[in-house]
Amino acid sequence: MPSCFLFGGIVLVAHETSCYVLPALVDRLGDGKDQVRENSQALILRCMEQTASPMYVWERLLPGFKHKNFRSREGVCLCLSATLNMYGAQPLSLSKLVPHLCSLTGDQNPQVREASITTLVDVYRHVGERVRADVGKRGLPAARLQTIFARFDEALNSGNMALSPSHDRSFEDDDSVDGNRSSSAQAAFKVPKVPKKPAESSTARRPSATGGKLVSKESAGAVDEDDFIKAFTDVPTVQIYSTRDLEDNLNKIREVCSDDKHDWDQRASALKKIRSLLVAGAANYDCFYQHLRLLDGAFKLSAKDLRSQVVREACITVAHLSLVLGNKFDHGAEAIVPVLFNLIPNCAKVMATSGVSAIRIIIRHTHVPRLIPLITSNCTSKSVAVRRRCYDFLDLLLQEWQTHSLERHTAVLVESIKKGIRDADSEARVEARKAYWGLRNHFPAEADALYNSLESSYQRTLQSYLKSSGSVASLPQSDRSSSSSQESLNASDKTDGTRSDNGRVRTKQVLRR
């Protein structure tokens, strides 16, 4: 049944013969007017309905991936997304199309690059892990590959996949060290499910992706400390039958996690197994601590993995170790924290927030002074995200730790917070100002000296932070800093009340004096 389209002012009759105009339609996909582009895409999709198969049409669209007009190249990508959303992956030979998309990820035009990646993500959503393997073989530069894989992970973790579970190995359980359980790596960690959005297929209606910007859910896959704490014990139950049994398990875990040639889901399960062993009381065995040292390399490797599931399991597991072992996790914490920092600038939320949550839990439970320089060294990172987090970490650390754990590093704490108060980024400054009050609790004289060294505009901002936090305490005037110690004590007492959530150690601090 032919149907009529108003197309560029011409009424076209769409039936088999309209496919002869496919090259012209590809040109029209690059038109300057949204309306023309939309109609072209609609007509192409209609062609698929009318002819033998969508792939027949796609064979004829292939030259469009190399069209000289960037909008046409972008339009062909968007049209492929629209095809997938309409017909699924079944009728398409995607292995013929994916190489074109991969080439376009390096296109000179940013909109085309973005559209090609978005479409690759759509292909991945429909086909699953085979796409990752295929894209991985196309010789793309590592950084670009990492970006693409992060986007795949984002789709996976946001519950936005469009495939049936049986099509994708990543959704099946692998009989690994975990035993033959039906809960896969994903199940261990419940990322809030984002309902499948038909709106994702809006590419079908809007061939002009606004400026090529990805508008996907910003917080997709983001995790926090509470998620971690739930995941600590959401692991298979195991029993430790003997020291020998524990050692065998730990050796096997180390072997699996130290070699990234093992399947990612085996490595994720092996990391989870460490938590199972912790729950079963592994920390009561002396040999556990020797083995833990041997696992440093495995944790670092896992936290650098390209697969977000492996990274997440590594982050959860080191955080769990910190919680259970406290300061006995000093060595492991020192080894892993720098790697966790490198996750923070990652564009995949699940990676970045896993790193942050792990560091925060480690700061809460493993109070080893050697962590302080690791944190302060990143206070001058080029990444704004890292700097903001660094001051947040310092704030937490100053709330949670006893003064004696901080004393050796007073100078560097003061210096870092001072830099933060003057940071170019306003959010980083906010975090640094919070940390300032923590510093003042422990080291009033040093904090006052820092205050007095600041330009008056920064002093005023610090003051106004204090007012907005509800405290009436006042900061020293430059001319009476000698009395500041006494004031600090009272000030800290009051600040305490405003932060009762974290006031545990702070209160001790006040009482101790």
What residue ranges bind ligand NAG (CB under 6 A)?
A: 180, 182, 341-342, 344-345, 377-378, 381, 383, 386, 486, 489-490
Structure tokens at 486: 């006494």
Cβ atoms of 227 and 357 closer than 8 Å? yes
- Closest residue to ligand NAG in the complex (CB): 381
Cβ atoms of 219 and 349 closer than 8 Å? yes
Distance CA 454, CA 441 (A): 19
Least distance in Å: CB of 444 to ligand NAG? 12
Least distance in Å: CB of 165 to ligand NAG? 13
Structure tokens at 75: 């339009």
Q: Which of 163, 216, 156, 162 is nearest to 189 (CA)?
A: 156
Least distance in Å: CB of 379 to ligand NAG? 9
Contacts of 210 (CB under 8 A, 6+ apart): none
Contacts of 416 (CB under 8 A, 6+ apart): 376, 379, 390, 391, 394
Reduced to 3 states, what is the DSSP secondary structure of residue 15? Answer: coil
Residue nearer to ligand NAG on the CB measure, 180 or 426:
180
Number of H helices, E strands in the chain: 25, 2
Among positive and negative, which fits the CA dihedral 319, 323, 326, 328? negative
Least distance in Å: CB of 411 to ligand NAG? 17
**Cβ neighbours, 10 Å, residue 25:** 26
Residue nearer to ligand NAG on the CB measure, 116 or 488:
488
Least distance in Å: CB of 377 to ligand NAG? 4
Residue nearer to ligand NAG on the CB measure, 389 or 442:
389
Distance CA 322, CA 358 (A): 9
Residue nearer to ligand NAG on the CB measure, 97 or 386:
386
Least distance in Å: CB of 312 to ligand NAG? 18
Contacts of 73 (CB under 8 A, 6+ apart): 30, 64, 65, 66, 67, 104, 107, 109, 112, 115
Distance CA 59, CA 298 (A): 46
Least distance in Å: CB of 186 to ligand NAG? 16
Residue nearer to ligand NAG on the CB measure, 121 or 396:
396
Least distance in Å: CB of 345 to ligand NAG? 6
- The number of C-alpha atoms within 13 Å of 197 and in the hemisphere containing its C-beta is 15
Residue nearer to ligand NAG on the CB measure, 202 or 342:
342
Q: What is the 3-state secondary structure (H, E, C) of 342-364?
A: HHCCCCCHHHHHHHHHHHHHHHH
Residue nearer to ligand NAG on the CB measure, 182 or 426:
182
Contacts of 195 (CB under 8 A, 6+ apart): 159
**Cβ neighbours, 10 Å, residue 107:** 18
Least distance in Å: CB of 466 to ligand NAG? 14
Residue nearer to ligand NAG on the CB measure, 107 or 173:
173
Distance CA 82, CA 203 (A): 6
Residue nearer to ligand NAG on the CB measure, 38 or 448:
448
Least distance in Å: CB of 133 to ligand NAG? 23
Residue nearer to ligand NAG on the CB measure, 116 or 357:
357
